[in-house]
Copies of this chain bind each other. A is one copy, B any other.
């Protein structure tokens, strides 16, 4: 009897360095779409190695970087961005000729500067950043649908192979994402505004509440539905990942934080002076952006 020929997957052997929320979600989304023949998980946390196998996220799992990348034609760096340079240095001698190394980091300039110098000439480095995530962490938290209808931004350095860039874009599209290409520095400024500053502020206000006396803190928890709750969700995100984001996108974050602080001081002055017109004008202007987000189907 004739058998339907299975289409050749996009990659033969896909290796994930870091199999937490994002790494395991990419593995699941790739598996669902049949994008690789074999999945290899590598994590320095032995619990994650075990979980990756138990959950069926990977076919093979190890704590050894060199063994993990051997023979892989796709390597996905999915660890906190501060670790990427050192990992690149360790895996470099073991990378297969023609392999594609990509990442999922929230910061692009520093990752490129740290990783690119280690990558051999016959290997392609195509940095990427899927704009997706949850406040949960670890391999158990991942799911295949995480990237559906979300943006993934590819930020290739100059002289990156167009074919490799196209293949990474295809990878993201086949996982359900929409793909954009952006200059790495520009990416870092856009994300400083849309993601890094909101997280910093959420972490700060939740910290301010954490420092309250016991009784008041209990009441803040009890009545959190009035606005505060939304900030606690953001501020429950992975601490190591976010520490590395702020350390590695320092200039853009400090620049936008400076603007925010000036604006907050203006609001504070309006409240202190009882300047209702300034408050009302400001609160009316901010409604327009919400409308634009709804119109852009991002709400």
Main secondary structure of the interface of A (DSSP, over half): helix
Binding site for B on A (CB under 8 A): 82, 131-133, 135, 150-151, 153, 189-191, 193-212, 216-217, 219-237, 239-240, 242-244, 246-247, 250, 253-254, 256-257, 259-261, 263-264, 267-268, 270-272, 274, 276, 279-280, 282-293, 296, 298-299
Number of copies: 2
Q: State the CA gap A133–B247 with chains docked (Å).
A: 37
Q: State the CA gap A164–B132 with chains docked (Å).
A: 51
Q: State the CA gap A79–B114 with chains docked (Å).
A: 57
**Are A190 and B219 within 8 A (Cβ)?**
yes
Q: Which of B205, B212, B224, B226 contacts A201 (CB 8 A)?
A: B205
Q: Which of B217, B239, B250, B276 contacts A271 (CB 8 A)?
A: B250
Q: A205-B201, A207-B286 are in contact. Are A279 and B247 (CB under 8 A)?
A: yes
Q: A242-B279, A263-B207 are in contact. Are A229 and B285 (CB under 8 A)?
A: no
**Chain B residues with CB below 8 A from A224, complex form:** 194, 293, 296, 298
**Chain B residues with CB below 8 A from A222, complex form:** 151, 296, 298
